Amino acid sequence: MSEMKLSTEEVARVASLARLDLSEEKTEIFAGQLHNILTYMDKLNEIDTSNVEPMFSPVEHTTVLRKDIVVKEHTRDEILANAPDSDGQYFIVPRIV
Protein backbone atom coordinates (compact mmCIF):
# COMPACT_ATOMS: atom_id res chain seq x y z
CA MET A 1 0.00 0.00 0.00
CA SER A 2 1.27 3.49 -0.82
CA GLU A 3 1.87 6.15 1.78
CA MET A 4 -1.29 7.21 3.60
CA LYS A 5 -2.67 10.63 2.64
CA LEU A 6 -3.89 11.13 6.22
CA SER A 7 -2.15 9.62 9.20
CA THR A 8 -4.13 8.02 12.00
CA GLU A 9 -3.02 10.95 14.17
CA GLU A 10 -4.59 13.42 11.73
CA VAL A 11 -7.79 11.40 11.62
CA ALA A 12 -7.86 11.26 15.43
CA ARG A 13 -7.36 15.05 15.55
CA VAL A 14 -10.22 15.68 13.11
CA ALA A 15 -12.42 13.26 15.07
CA SER A 16 -11.56 15.15 18.25
CA LEU A 17 -12.46 18.48 16.61
CA ALA A 18 -15.78 16.93 15.55
CA ARG A 19 -16.21 15.71 19.13
CA LEU A 20 -16.19 12.07 18.04
CA ASP A 21 -14.75 9.50 20.39
CA LEU A 22 -13.19 6.91 18.07
CA SER A 23 -11.37 3.79 19.15
CA GLU A 24 -7.89 3.20 17.75
CA GLU A 25 -9.32 0.46 15.53
CA LYS A 26 -11.99 2.79 14.09
CA THR A 27 -9.40 5.53 13.56
CA GLU A 28 -7.29 3.15 11.47
CA ILE A 29 -10.34 2.04 9.47
CA PHE A 30 -11.34 5.65 8.75
CA ALA A 31 -7.77 6.59 7.85
CA GLY A 32 -7.75 3.79 5.27
CA GLN A 33 -11.14 4.80 3.88
CA LEU A 34 -10.13 8.46 3.63
CA HIS A 35 -6.89 7.42 1.93
CA ASN A 36 -8.91 5.51 -0.69
CA ILE A 37 -11.22 8.49 -1.26
CA LEU A 38 -8.34 10.98 -1.61
CA THR A 39 -6.46 8.62 -3.94
CA TYR A 40 -9.57 8.37 -6.12
CA MET A 41 -9.92 12.17 -6.12
CA ASP A 42 -6.29 12.45 -7.28
CA LYS A 43 -7.08 10.06 -10.12
CA LEU A 44 -10.11 12.19 -11.09
CA ASN A 45 -7.95 15.33 -11.05
CA GLU A 46 -5.74 13.79 -13.76
CA ILE A 47 -8.63 13.77 -16.25
CA ASP A 48 -8.64 16.58 -18.82
CA THR A 49 -11.97 18.38 -18.43
CA SER A 50 -11.03 21.55 -20.29
CA ASN A 51 -13.57 20.86 -23.08
CA VAL A 52 -16.35 19.76 -20.76
CA GLU A 53 -19.22 22.19 -20.29
CA PRO A 54 -19.99 22.83 -16.58
CA MET A 55 -23.32 21.39 -15.46
CA PHE A 56 -25.41 21.35 -12.33
CA SER A 57 -26.41 17.71 -12.78
CA PRO A 58 -25.16 14.83 -14.93
CA VAL A 59 -28.78 13.89 -15.72
CA GLU A 60 -31.34 15.73 -17.81
CA HIS A 61 -34.31 16.25 -15.51
CA THR A 62 -37.83 16.42 -16.83
CA THR A 63 -40.66 16.64 -14.40
CA VAL A 64 -43.40 14.07 -14.62
CA LEU A 65 -45.49 15.95 -12.09
CA ARG A 66 -48.42 18.21 -12.81
CA LYS A 67 -47.99 21.92 -13.44
CA ASP A 68 -48.14 24.07 -10.31
CA ILE A 69 -51.42 25.77 -11.13
CA VAL A 70 -54.04 26.68 -8.54
CA VAL A 71 -57.30 24.94 -9.34
CA LYS A 72 -60.44 25.06 -7.21
CA GLU A 73 -61.56 21.43 -7.29
CA HIS A 74 -64.12 21.42 -4.46
CA THR A 75 -66.69 23.84 -3.13
CA ARG A 76 -66.70 24.99 0.46
CA ASP A 77 -69.90 23.02 1.07
CA GLU A 78 -68.28 19.81 -0.22
CA ILE A 79 -65.31 20.26 2.09
CA LEU A 80 -67.39 21.23 5.13
CA ALA A 81 -69.67 18.23 4.55
CA ASN A 82 -66.86 16.05 5.94
CA ALA A 83 -66.37 18.18 9.06
CA PRO A 84 -67.70 16.87 12.38
CA ASP A 85 -68.81 20.45 13.16
CA SER A 86 -68.87 23.70 11.21
CA ASP A 87 -70.57 27.07 11.23
CA GLY A 88 -71.28 26.89 7.50
CA GLN A 89 -68.07 28.72 6.65
CA TYR A 90 -65.31 27.29 8.87
CA PHE A 91 -64.43 24.09 10.69
CA ILE A 92 -65.25 24.24 14.40
CA VAL A 93 -62.66 22.46 16.53
CA PRO A 94 -62.44 21.96 20.28
CA ARG A 95 -60.54 24.66 22.16
CA ILE A 96 -57.17 23.42 23.40
CA VAL A 97 -55.52 25.50 26.10
pLDDT in tens, 5-53: 788 999 999 999 999 999 999 999 999 999 999 999 999 999 998 998 8
What architecture is the 8-45 domain classified under in CATH?
Answer: Orthogonal Bundle (1.10)
Which is more confidently placed, 75 or 1? 75
List Cβ<8 Å contacts ≥24 apart for 1-7.
2/39, 4/31, 4/32, 4/35, 5/34, 5/35, 5/38, 5/39, 6/31, 6/34, 6/35, 6/38, 7/31
| Residue 2 in this model has a pLDDT that exceeds 70 | no
Whether the model pTM is above 0.85: no
Chain mean position to CA 3: 33
| Residue 1 in this model has a pLDDT that exceeds 50 | no
What's 66's DSSP letter?
Answer: P
| Nearest C-alpha neighbor of 31 from the set 65, 67, 3 | 3
pLDDT of residue 33: 94
